[in-house]
Structure 1
Amino acid sequence: MSNQLTTFDFNALPVRVVEREGEPWFVAADVCKALGYALRANGTVNVNNIRTVVSDEETITCQTGKTGRPSLCISESGLYKLVMRSDKPEARAFQDWVTKVVLPAIRKDGGYVMGEEKAVTGEMFKEELILHLIGANASRRMDMTTGWLKRYTL
């Protein structure tokens, strides 16, 4: 089973997302850092704390790096539960980003193009926006083609 790893940037913090069977799974430690939750000294998340909010069906272990160590990953619905549950001041910006930028973009366009919030505020130049959109479109086409090839090549 192939896992595609994508890293997004939220306020200079990497948020890794693993795509498994077409579904996004978010690395729990990255989400917890972005939300301002305390991590263990070794940078891992306390699984028991996560499981008080997120059900077992919303968690899996994923290979997310070259170290070979598996990471706890949470589903999209698990991500929403963690985001909406936090009342930490540090989590406010992440909550706003998810609810005001990412979710509306998904509803409107069927996906989120990294940096599209800059286009709305005028921070992104027209040429830069066009390059982002071309890249996102090419990526979607590649994903569709890969999925089609997988279905018909076995």
Structure 2
Amino acid sequence: MKTEIQIFTSEVFGEIRTCQVNNQIMFVAKDVATALGYTNTPKAIRDHIDDDDKLTERFVLSGQVRSVIIINESGLYALILSSKLPQAKAFKHWVTSEVLPQIRRTGGYIPTHAADGRDLSAVEILHRADAIVGRTLRILNEEAEDTLTATQVAKTFNMTTYDFNAILRDMGIQYRRDGHWNISDDLADRNLTRLRTHVSYSLKGQKKVKVYMTWTLDGVRFLNAKLGYPNF
């Protein structure tokens, strides 16, 4: 398969090579891992990225055919979220404010400029990135923006997600069936939880649907009363 490489350059992060496979934007995994400060890039790629989010592609690089691991946007965000280094946030801003919008709009990369042709300052670029991310999140979570995941609620109680779910199970508030958490039957009609659906696609075009339970604000207040933590 002939795949055209596009190179995006940042003074801070260096070169990031991208391409498109089956209409999906892909990134060279090693470039992303290096930009995020991972010292052992093969281990980072192996440990943090699901198999469905990466594949090996052959490219002509420096006159030679080489096999390169490329990752989709889900894999990109997995590396970003797993990075503990301060440059991860700045890298996310660069990708979301310049690289991804330009690929989607033009199929290539055009550096961000103001209407008068001048280069945007770092502050202006960050503001644009925040606006893009904010709009995207509002669209993706339009029907569930007033609910919180178990991970988000657990953080308000300074707990891990595992401990949080285990405590609620032991208290009879929820139970686990077929790999999913469910609110107890006697609490089901109190608007404490809401199901959220996430749809994604693998690199082979396979559709994956994940349905999981989230907590409403009423649910969080209920948990505060039960657990005794006045967080809301």
TM-score greater than 0.5 by the shorter chain: yes
- The answer to whether residue 49 in structure 2 is matched with residue 54 in structure 1 is yes
State the shift of 1:77 in Å. 1.2
1:137 alignment partner in structure 2? none
Matched residue SS, 2:26: strand
More strand per residue: 1 or 2? 2
Post-superposition CA distance 1:41-82 (Å, at most 9, x none)? xxxx31x43132111111111223132221111112111221
- The answer to whether residue 140 in structure 2 is matched with residue 124 in structure 1 is no
Q: Is the 8 A contact 1:7 1:16 kept in 2?
A: yes
2:150 alignment partner in structure 1? none
Matched residue SS, 1:111: helix
Q: Is the 8 A contact 1:54 1:82 kept in 2?
A: yes
1:96 alignment partner in structure 2? 93
Q: Structure 2 CA distance, aligned partners of 1:121 and 1:88?
A: 35
1:140 alignment partner in structure 2? none
Alignment of 1:78-117 (within 5 A): 78-102=75-99, 105=101, 110-111=104-105, 113-116=109-112
Q: Is the 8 A contact 2:98 2:111 kept in 1?
A: no
Which stretches of structure 1, 4 residues or more, deviate above 6 A after TM superposition? none
- In structure 2, the CA distance between the partners of 1:124 and 1:72, relative to structure 1 (3 Å rule), is same
Q: Is the 8 A contact 2:17 2:28 kept in 1?
A: yes
- The answer to whether residue 7 in structure 2 is matched with residue 3 in structure 1 is no
- The answer to whether residue 22 in structure 2 is matched with residue 14 in structure 1 is no
- In structure 2, the CA distance between the partners of 1:36 and 1:52, relative to structure 1 (3 Å rule), is same
Q: Structure 1 CA distance, aligned partners of 2:116 and 2:94?
A: 14
State the shift of 1:88 in Å. 0.2
Q: Structure 2 CA distance, aligned partners of 1:111 and 1:84?
A: 26
Q: % of aligned pairs identical?
A: 31
Q: Which runs of no fewer than 5 residues in structure 1 stay unpaired?
A: 40-44, 126-154
1:73 alignment partner in structure 2? 70
RMSD (CA atoms)? 2.8
1:142 alignment partner in structure 2? none
Q: Structure 2 CA distance, aligned partners of 1:19 and 1:5?
A: 8
More helix per residue: 1 or 2? 1
- In structure 2, the CA distance between the partners of 1:58 and 1:34, relative to structure 1 (3 Å rule), is same
Q: Is the 8 A contact 1:28 1:74 kept in 2?
A: yes
- In structure 2, the CA distance between the partners of 1:4 and 1:110, relative to structure 1 (3 Å rule), is closer
Post-superposition CA distance 1:110-132 (Å, at most 9, x none)? 5375212x32797339xxxxxxx
Could you tell me which amino acid in structure 2 is paired with residue 33 of structure 1? Answer: T
- In structure 2, the CA distance between the partners of 1:110 and 1:49, relative to structure 1 (3 Å rule), is closer
Matched residue SS, 1:62: strand
Count of aligned pairs between the two proteins: 115
Q: Is the 8 A contact 1:54 1:78 kept in 2?
A: yes
2:33 alignment partner in structure 1? 32
Higher relative contact order (CA 8 A, sep 6+): 1
Q: Is the 8 A contact 1:35 1:90 kept in 2?
A: yes
